[in-house]
A and B are shown apart, each in its own frame.
Chain A
Amino acid sequence: MNRLQQKLNDKKENLLTIYFTAGYPELNDTGTIVKELEAAGTDIIEIGMPFSDPVADGPTIQASSLKALHNGMSIKVLLEQLKAIKSEVNIPILLMGYINPIWKYGVEKFMADCEAAGVSGLILPDIPLDEFKTDYEVLYKKHHLSSVFLVTPQTSDERICAYDEACTGFIYMVSSASTTGANKTVDTEKQVAYYNRVKSLNLKNPTQIGFNIKDKASFERACRYANGGIIGSAFIKKLSEEGDLKVKVREFVAGIQ
């Protein structure tokens, strides 16, 4: 059992996952942010590997990705940073990223280096499920990495179950049809119907709701329908404010829990 699976085993509700972009606001903030998030009581950390063309992301994470790339962030740098703090932290860390930089780095080498850096799992949204099964699943297993898959309100029951079958972490429920941080008004009735639809499938994996989870109220609402919630853009916005980094991280987490 890796750290993520242990966490999901131990805690079944109100799981708080926080996302940040590696290399943002500054190149060497990764270690500080991870440690502070852990100290503040976050359950799981999702670190975004910045990419030049993040099509699934809204303006906030596009901007943080661009800044991170300008700062010099890369997969190599991130994995070295994580390796350096591996023995100091216990919080499960997931990496999220687009496939192109991983392909360039070398898929197998990437997985091996993730394991060596203490990473628990991966969210690679642009790998189709079929490709995952034929080319990636065996590597995830070999390197003890959990797989996390996204589902949306438009994903059919059949596909959700297929993802659940392949999943070894949690099902990431995208709250509404949108890019990250879209902040759009949603039809709450439709949304609740979608949440209940997923619930009724009795998935073997836990679920967490992400996209447009931005504060205490939206987090608590997510936790009513899933095992937890994932906050990304709102945290990035907080990090972009003036002030001491550690204080900002602690304030943000305290404001949610």
Chain B
Amino acid sequence: MNENNNNAQPQHPPFRGMGGNWGVDSNGYYGEFGGAFIPEMLQPNVDALKACYKEIINSYEFKQEFIDLLKNYVGRPSPLYFAKRLSERYGAKIYLKREDLNHTGSHKVNNTIGQILLAKKMGKSRIIAETGAGQHGVATATVCALMNLECVVYMGATDIERQMPNVKRMEMLGAKVVPAESGNKTLKDATNEALRDWINNPEDTYYLIGSVVGPHPYPEIVAKFQSVVSEEIGWQLDEQIGRTAPDYIIACVGGGSNAAGVFYHYLDDTNVKLIGVEASGMGIHTNETAASMACGDVGFIHGSKTLLMQDDDGQITEPYSISAGLDYPGIGPLHSHLFKTGRATYIDATDREALDAAYLLTKIEGIIPALESAHALAALEKIQFKPNDVVVVNISGRGDKDMDTYINELEKSQ
């Protein structure tokens, strides 16, 4: 880094990136969850990644490039904003981690920057990705434009319809968006298609997965790249109120990457209550839900042993949520482990609760959150805080892509 960069944030500790004792064991497991349950057709690619990722991402050169891009391209650190009016309303000190202000509009870019550097170091020339809401697709298309790499994004046909602005953005960035027409045509199906693409293109292609899901080592790689979020919270809180840890951290959970990132450096600090919020759609007692922990049990999805929604015959259930980014029947294995061990608590929010939380934040703080992040905000209604509790809510993305939904729902209720 040059002189200017160092001067820009003299008081901050350098970004160390990736630490903590909550990594996977030598077999790729978080407790009983994780592993790599993939057919031989994918094995050589996953093995190649497994063999080299640690050395690459721990190298000085990689870290320098990663830190530089996060700072000067993404715009990190993202602000930690004390939300005064929201705090008054809920009777606690509420801080919003503004991942919505990142380049491309969500936390997803933290991971795509890391993985695109990894893919380049591995000599790959073609990048594939899955996307739900389109945020990961846009973040992938963006880094592919930046690095001049071919980019193919798989997206459920249903999601293409409900997140059209992101489809157009990806195309403008030079990516090819391929509709997934199987199943409910959402994130699960897009992930299936991306895996099939990788099977068919094993040599030049890197699968840039968007969440803490998939076969080992993906969950660990993505969690590490996203851990920049919790690392910043440490010094930002210290600067603002003279303490490094909050009492609560709240994040929405689809696959679980923004939650993994915002929890990461606090996993060992059991004084910090970690709250994940699943999307329960029309409610956990309906079939129209995406709450994998509330409604699921142990199984295997996309190469990982984890909690997922399935029927009595072990067929994976089609999820439902108003939020395309949370519309996934499984959950990353790290979260299954945190759930099982009780280290994190997982609650749920319905479509309605998320919409109300989004309208509230817009009205009283002037921030339009993504529908996904609105689920995290909805949790504020459900927790009894003490007045001095310091609460960090991760605003994982911004609501531009959801304007159609927000406007339609407002008109419906009028």
Q: Determine whether the beta carbon of B40 is less than 8 Å from that of A174.
A: yes
**Interface size of B in residues (CB-CB distance below 8 Å):** 34
B338 at interface, CB cutoff 8 A: no
Shortest CB-to-CB span from B133 to chain A, Å, is: 20
User: In the assembly, what is the distance between CA of A51 and CA of B183, in Å?
Assistant: 12
B38 at interface, CB cutoff 8 A: yes
B149 at interface, CB cutoff 8 A: no
A178 at interface, CB cutoff 8 A: yes
Given A105-B314, A152-B44, is A130 in contact with B39 using a C-beta cutoff of 8 Å?
no
User: In the assembly, what is the distance between CA of A18 and CA of B277, in Å?
Assistant: 47
Q: Determine whether the beta carbon of B196 is less than 8 Å from that of A58.
A: yes
User: In the assembly, what is the distance between CA of A130 and CA of B29, in Å?
Assistant: 13
Q: Which residue of B lies closest to A63 (CB)?
A: B182
* Chain B residues in 8 Å Cβ range of A51: 314-315
Given A62-B182, A103-B299, A184-B200, is A155 in contact with B40 using a C-beta cutoff of 8 Å?
yes
User: In the assembly, what is the distance between CA of A222 and CA of B36, in Å?
Assistant: 31
Q: Determine whether the beta carbon of B35 is less than 8 Å from that of A128.
A: yes
Shortest CB-to-CB span from A254 to chain B, Å, is: 31
Q: Determine whether the beta carbon of A101 is less than 8 Å from that of B313.
A: yes
Q: Determine whether the beta carbon of A149 is less than 8 Å from that of B40.
A: yes
B226 at interface, CB cutoff 8 A: no
Q: Determine whether the beta carbon of B195 is less than 8 Å from that of A55.
A: yes
B44, B188, B199, B298: the one contacting A178 at CB < 8 Å is: B199
Q: Determine whether the beta carbon of B35 is less than 8 Å from that of A131.
A: yes
Q: Determine whether the beta carbon of B39 is less than 8 Å from that of A150.
A: yes
User: In the assembly, what is the distance between CA of A55 and CA of B300, in Å?
Assistant: 12
B192 at interface, CB cutoff 8 A: yes
User: In the assembly, what is the distance between CA of A150 and CA of B42, in Å?
Assistant: 11
* Chain A residues in 8 Å Cβ range of B44: 152, 154-156
User: In the assembly, what is the distance between CA of A103 and CA of B188, in Å?
Assistant: 20
Q: Determine whether the beta carbon of A177 is less than 8 Å from that of B299.
A: no
A69 at interface, CB cutoff 8 A: yes
A55, A131, A152, A156: the one contacting B196 at CB < 8 Å is: A55
Q: A134-161 vs B: 1/0 string, CB under 8 Å?
A: 0000000000000001111011100100
Main secondary structure of the interface of B (DSSP, over half): loop
Q: B180-202 vs A: 1/0 string, CB under 8 Å?
A: 00110000100010011001111
* Chain A residues in 8 Å Cβ range of B27: 130
CB under 8 Å from chain A, chain B span 171-225: 182-183, 188, 192, 195-196, 199-203
* Chain A residues in 8 Å Cβ range of B269: none
* Chain A residues in 8 Å Cβ range of B192: 53, 55
Shortest CB-to-CB span from A71 to chain B, Å, is: 13
* Chain B residues in 8 Å Cβ range of A130: 27
Q: Which residue of A lies closest to B40 (CB)?
A: A150
B35, B182, B298, B303: the one contacting A103 at CB < 8 Å is: B298
Shortest CB-to-CB span from B24 to chain A, Å, is: 14
* Chain B residues in 8 Å Cβ range of A90: none
Given A53-B188, A156-B44, is A125 in contact with B301 using a C-beta cutoff of 8 Å?
no
* Chain B residues in 8 Å Cβ range of A150: 39-41
A182 at interface, CB cutoff 8 A: yes
A99 at interface, CB cutoff 8 A: yes
A201 at interface, CB cutoff 8 A: no
* Chain B residues in 8 Å Cβ range of A58: 196
CB under 8 Å from chain B, chain A span 171-216: 174, 177-179, 182, 184
A245 at interface, CB cutoff 8 A: no
* Chain B residues in 8 Å Cβ range of A128: 35-38, 43
Q: Determine whether the beta carbon of A69 is less than 8 Å from that of B315.
A: yes
Given A52-B183, A177-B201, is A100 in contact with B40 using a C-beta cutoff of 8 Å?
no
User: In the assembly, what is the distance between CA of A150 and CA of B41, in Å?
Assistant: 8
User: In the assembly, what is the distance between CA of A61 and CA of B35, in Å?
Assistant: 26
A126 at interface, CB cutoff 8 A: yes
Q: Apart from A101-B313, A101-B314, A154-B41, what are 14 other A-B pairs with CB-CB below 8 Å?
A: A51-B315, A69-B315, A100-B299, A100-B300, A104-B313, A125-B39, A128-B35, A128-B36, A131-B35, A131-B37, A152-B41, A156-B44, A179-B199, A179-B200
The 3 A-B pairs with the shortest beta carbon distances in the complex, nearest first, are A104-B314, A101-B314, A125-B39
A-B contact pairs, 17 of them (CB 8 A): A52-B183, A52-B316, A53-B301, A56-B199, A58-B196, A100-B301, A100-B316, A103-B300, A104-B312, A104-B313, A104-B314, A126-B303, A127-B37, A131-B37, A152-B40, A154-B203, A178-B199
